[in-house]
Homo-oligomer: A and B are copies of this chain.
């Protein structure tokens, strides 16, 4: 393995960045770089590009590598990037993870292979271990991605324990998108002395997560509401923490009344006055005009803005 370098781990609010597409569904690297820079200016400590909300699995490995390259060439600091690199195919996961490490990314957020259901922890361990061994670079910071409502393949506490025992320092944390706070809390308790950074998968749990020893959140709504979410992160010990949390939870609840990914794109399109942002790749579908009107109207009534977009 290449020698480890001491690099501060990413903590705070990360956005699983939505991916802009052109009319022909081609990824739009210019809009992508611009949006990533706005996010970093507006409260995000890091960018979990190529997540569920990024429609990452709707893109080929080559398309994602081109976008990653555009980000770094466009001046986005690689240390702030935590790209999704987990695929169904072992060889795809290795290729993308290796490239992310080579570019100096602060971490990678790794889905388990998600085609086969009901697979064993041994099989999943073997998958992650193969990726780590083949990448063979101690700079790798691997964050596991637990999102059973979408992947249908959970990352169990037993699997985490096994991976941490074998690859301490490399296995660096998790994004828990189970939506179940008791699960997040169990991870925080069980691995609290093992340099395992737990990120809530929704800002709804941000304050709870910070109070229980977590490191922040990686959240869909971070795409449109990064400032207020970051204020909860920076003030979680303060007297206004609960009130700030109530505010971001209320915003989240408005957004998630309609399908999340097209909603984030419609909101971004509206507040940047750039309708091309609305395009999603199949199998997703844009919001209906009525859904769009509803979410924008409710957000405006709540005083929501996207300053500087």
Binding site for B on A (CB under 8 A): 25, 52, 57-61, 63, 88-92, 95, 112-117, 119-120, 122-124, 126-127, 130, 149-153, 281-285
Q: Give the distance in Å from the alpha carbon of A95 to the alpha carbon of B95 in the complex.
A: 19
Asked whether, in the complex, the Cβ of A282 is within 8 Å of the Cβ of B117, the reply is no
Q: With a CB–CB cut-off of 8 A, which chain B residues contact A112?
A: 283
Asked whether, in the complex, the Cβ of B59 is within 8 Å of the Cβ of A91, the reply is yes
Asked whether, in the complex, the Cβ of B119 is within 8 Å of the Cβ of A57, the reply is no
A-B pairs, 6 with minimum CB distance: A127-B282, A123-B283, A57-B115, A126-B282, A57-B88, A119-B283
Q: Give the distance in Å from the alpha carbon of A58 to the alpha carbon of B153 in the complex.
A: 15
Most buried by B among A52, A57, A95, A122: A57
Q: With a CB–CB cut-off of 8 A, which chain B residues contact A151?
A: 115
Q: With a CB–CB cut-off of 8 A, which chain B residues contact A126?
A: 282-283, 285
Given A113-B58, A152-B152, A285 and B91 contact (CB-CB distance below 8 Å):
no
Asked whether, in the complex, the Cβ of B123 is within 8 Å of the Cβ of A284, the reply is yes
Q: A59-B89, A115-B150, A123-B284 are in contact. List 20 more A-B contacts (CB 8 A).
A: A25-B90, A57-B88, A58-B89, A58-B90, A58-B115, A60-B91, A88-B88, A113-B282, A115-B151, A116-B283, A116-B284, A119-B285, A122-B285, A123-B282, A123-B283, A124-B282, A126-B282, A126-B283, A127-B282, A153-B283
Q: Give the distance in Å from the alpha carbon of A123 to the alpha carbon of B57 in the complex.
A: 15
Asked whether, in the complex, the Cβ of A119 is within 8 Å of the Cβ of B284, the reply is yes
Q: Give the distance in Å from the alpha carbon of A92 to the alpha carbon of B60 in the complex.
A: 6
Q: State the Cβ distance, A294 to closest chain B Cβ, in Å.
A: 18
Asked whether, in the complex, the Cβ of A130 is within 8 Å of the Cβ of B59, the reply is no
Q: Which residue of B lies closest to A122 (CB)?
A: B285
